[in-house]
Amino acid sequence: MIPRYTMPEMAAVFSDTARFGRYLEIELLATEAHVGLGIVPAADAAACRERAPQVDDAFVTAVDEREKVTDHDVAAFVDVVQGAIGAPAGAWIHYGLTSSDVVDTAWCWMLRDACDLLLQAADGLLVTLVRLAREHRDTVMIGRTHGIHAEPTTFGAKVALWALQVDRDRTRLRAARDTVAVCKLSGAVGTFSNIDPAVEAHVASALGLRAVPATQVIARARHAEFLYACASVGATMELIAVELRHLQRTEVREVQEGFKVGQKGSSAMPHKRNPISAETISGLSRVLRGNLQAGMQDVALWHERDISHSSVERVVLPDSALLAYYVLRRMTRLLDGLQVFPERMLANLWSSHGLVFSQPVLLGLVQAGLTRDEAYRIVQENAGRAWDEGRSFRELLAADPRVTVPDAVLDDAFDLARSVRYAGRGVDALDALAP
């Protein structure tokens, strides 16, 4: 992923030095497990641990140079490690293992740690959303369907639904973490033909992973589930971002992204304050969905394995983790600085001349004895006149001889407080969220 959308703590999980460091620890743990089986001398295993190379930029460069000869990255890694440890102890490195034992276990270890960071970021965003929802529990605004005024709601109710969706994303991330926190060290086709299952058990325990049956590779449906969790995060962030983009339009202007001192919204037009964070999040969510498609195509491999998945995963697994983490953090920053304009919300609500109360008027006429179709036509006709002529919907209804209900019925229908009396239920539901 390009540096613009990369945050250092997530990048550190997938760096070359971190990846090779994981490879090395897996190799050393496997060597030490063989001591208990009477295969590797204890002194040799201790020498491997003591003389193991420091995994730094120089080590990565050495592996890259060796790969030019081997044309195989794990073989190059093993050669460099064995060379640093020296004979005879170094010969035990990679004993009984195949490349995927090391690579797949390392991938799952990395993805588990990535899930932990994603969950932390989701927790932080949820705190912001809950605070914002409670703060605006009674901030009345117009609800829109198809982009058209519908009925009154509250900004708090809108934000509460975002919070509940982020909580569901946390559930998906936890499930993905459990799915990917696995390992396998079972050899070339997963049958333990040249390695004892006790080695796998030892490594799994040491790394906090769960050993699972596999072919030469761990089932790629596990990785696809991780990519789905990331894509779901992106979809939720886009859901919020698209709404904020609409609400920030000049004609609406019910909210606005924060604008820091010195910031410029346009190189040409000094007045511009564009929803750049929301637009960035919308765009990156498309990449996350595309990565999921690639991950799903990695599930079907030839027989016990091929490497058609390998090149794809080097791109989509770290990139999805990085992007999902980035959009969670970027959205948190956006919402922490969000400006909300309650007066503008009310002005927009009333700008349609009271049409947003058409349903309670309809129901009042039905209760008064009209058929639903008769009542609907009366309300629809007066609503059209109110909009076309810019007149009060309430006054037009009161003047219509077909509307014979008492004034109290219309008073109740046009009561804004009555319309939103239960709107806070979504906000109240946030009390039940687990930390």
- The residues assigned a catalytic role are 146, 266
What gap in Å lies between CA 81 and CA 93, rounded to an integer? 8
Contact predicate 87/44, CB 8 Å: no
d(CA 340, CA 170): 27
225 with 179: CB under 8 angstroms?
Answer: yes
Q: What is the token pair recorded at 348?
A: 């927009």
Q: Between β-strands 210-211 and 182-183, what pairing exists: parallel, antiparallel or unpaired? A: parallel
Ordered DSSP codes for 291-334: HHHHHHHTS--STT--STTHHHHHHHHHHHHHHHHHHHHHHHHH
- Quick one: residue 96, left, alpha or beta (phi over 0 = left, psi -120 to 50 = alpha)? left
Residues 273, 274, 279: CA angle, nearest 5 degrees: 160
Answer for the pair 396, 382: CB distance below 8 angstroms, yes or no: yes
Give the three-state DSSP class for 211: strand
Type of residue at 98: T
Report how far residue 222's alpha carbon sits from residue 233's, in angstroms, rounded to the nearest whole number: 17
CB 324 within 8 A of CB 330: no
**Three-class DSSP labels, 228-284:** HHHHHHHHHHHHHHHHHHHHCCCCCCCEECCCCCCCCCCCCCCCCCCCHHHHHHHHH
Q: By the 8 A CB rule, do 183 and 212 touch? A: yes
